[in-house]
Amino acid sequence: MKKNKISKNWVNKQRRDIYVRQSKVDGYRARSAYKLIEIDEKFKIFKGGLSIIDIGAAPGSWSQYALKAAKSSKLISIDLKKMEPISNSVQIQGDFTEKKTQEEIKKNINGKVDVVMSDMAVDTTGIKNIDSIQTGELCKEAMLFAKDHMKENAYFISKIFMGRTFNEIVADGKKYFKEVKVFKPKSSRKDSKESFIICRKVR
């Protein structure tokens, strides 16, 4: 009964969500596209001819927007789950935190890249401190990869949760990059602890 009630509440929440409805109109696979759109509107990241890595890409809405906004760009998307194909992109199914997956990414990039973006998050437990720590570790893993494979003026974008690891991640960002900002899009749900860290200019 409790599970059915939670499922019904989720369905009702989705129906009321303007970003869910708009994503169907605009052809995006998930409402998360609008978070990246807001990030791009604020920081002016995507333009033509970029090389982009999208980590934790499924179902693919960030990849969809990035390729739409940055025409003639090369994009590699990585996720544990199999994704529906997206034109003009390379898709890798695997665990980003495993060395063999990162080696597969490296085989598909030609030198340094312009954007590394990560919307990775663990399956939530409902215990916010644990969720924050585990998602924070994914962010740190993506950041370490990004700093070694990005051009000097490239952008790193990643989901982070407010919590115990927040200050540590921001400090790491400042250690590796000259510019570090934290931004919460309006399209992030009000009850969500998520924000996004945007880093630029590798040290």
In one-letter notation, the amino acid at residue 82 is K
pTM: 0.88
Question: For 143-165, b where at least 16 C-beta lie within 10 A, e where not — what string?
Answer: bebbbebbeeebbbbbbbbebeb
Query: Which residues of the chain fall below pLDDT 70?
Result: 1-16, 124-128
Domains of the chain (ranges plus CATH)?
30-202 (3.40.50.150)
Which residue, chain included where needed, has tokens 């990869």? 145
Name the active-site residue from 81, 147, 159, 190: 159
Is 47 annotated in the active site? no
| pLDDT of amino acid 191 | 79
